[in-house]
Amino acid sequence: MKKRVAILISGRGSNMTALIESAKAVDYPAEIVLVVSNRPDAPGLARARALGVATAVVDHTAFADEREAFERALDDELRNNRIDLVCLAGFMRLLTPWFVARWSGRMLNIHPSLLPQFKGLHTHRRALEAGVKRHGATVHFVEPEMDSGPIVAQGSLAVEDGDTEQTLAARVLELEHQIYPRALRAVAEGRTKF
């Protein structure tokens, strides 16, 4: 039985696309059955539909400052679709300990740095400023603290002379598209558990 996976997005959804395409392989242990966005205008929604995946919007602005009410609506959407695993892919909302606990060990995130380095935003700029020789991306289980949690997969590359924030971001994004499908495969096969 393939694991039923939902991907949560807020934007363009290139990692989402990589996951959907990888999951088309007959021997892939997971199927992407739902894409949920907290933003009705996320370009990734149309991409998901074009790839034949059902979409839903849970608009956080409809819940004013009620973060938990937003998350209850999100959780209902996931449970109604009998979701086994959740992949955050450019999902730009911080999640409360309640939601994280509910999906503990069943929710992954991808972050564009070699964690624990450069948690938070603007990771490529900060990597250049710090002068690191290697940079990359990390897939990890989600814990309440942002960009923390057991690491499932990392991909790294050399920072080159003349790299800009944009060139580095583009190369790291390609790496992201390779490691996220591999990480989801490992978790769906039960080879990595927390």
Which residues are tagged catalytic? 111
Which lies closer to ligand GRF via its Cβ, residue 16 or residue 32?
16
Residue 147 in contact with ligand GRF, rule: CB under 6 A: no
Q: Which of residues 90, 136, 149, 181 is near ligand GRF by CB under 6 A?
A: 90
Angle CA(141)–CA(147)–CA(151) in degrees, nearest 5?
A: 40
Nearest distance in Å: CB 77, ligand GRF: 19
Nearest distance in Å: CB 112, ligand GRF: 4
Q: Which two tokens stand for residue 66?
A: 């009620």
Contact status, residue 9 vs residue 35, Cβ threshold 8 Å: yes
* Cα distance between residue 115 and residue 15, in whole Å: 18
Please, is 50 exposed, middle or buried when counting C-beta atoms within 10 Å of its C-beta (0-12, 13-18, 19+)? exposed
Residue 155 in contact with ligand GRF, rule: CB under 6 A: no
Q: Which of residues 89, 115, 168, 187 is near ligand GRF by CB under 6 A?
A: 89
* Cα distance between residue 181 and residue 158, in whole Å: 22
Residue 135 in contact with ligand GRF, rule: CB under 6 A: no
Residue 37 in contact with ligand GRF, rule: CB under 6 A: no
Residue 152 in contact with ligand GRF, rule: CB under 6 A: no
Residue 110 in contact with ligand GRF, rule: CB under 6 A: yes
Contact status, residue 133 vs residue 157, Cβ threshold 8 Å: no
Q: Which of residues 87, 95, 107, 112 is near ligand GRF by CB under 6 A?
A: 112
Phi first, then psi: what are they for 24, rounded to 5°? -75, -20
Q: Half-sphere exposure of residue 5, counting CA atoms within 13 Å on the CB side?
A: 27
Nearest distance in Å: CB 9, ligand GRF: 6
Question: For ligand GRF, which residue has the nearest CB?
Answer: 90
Interacting residue ranges for ligand GRF, rule: CB under 6 A:
9, 11-16, 89-90, 110-112, 137, 173, 176
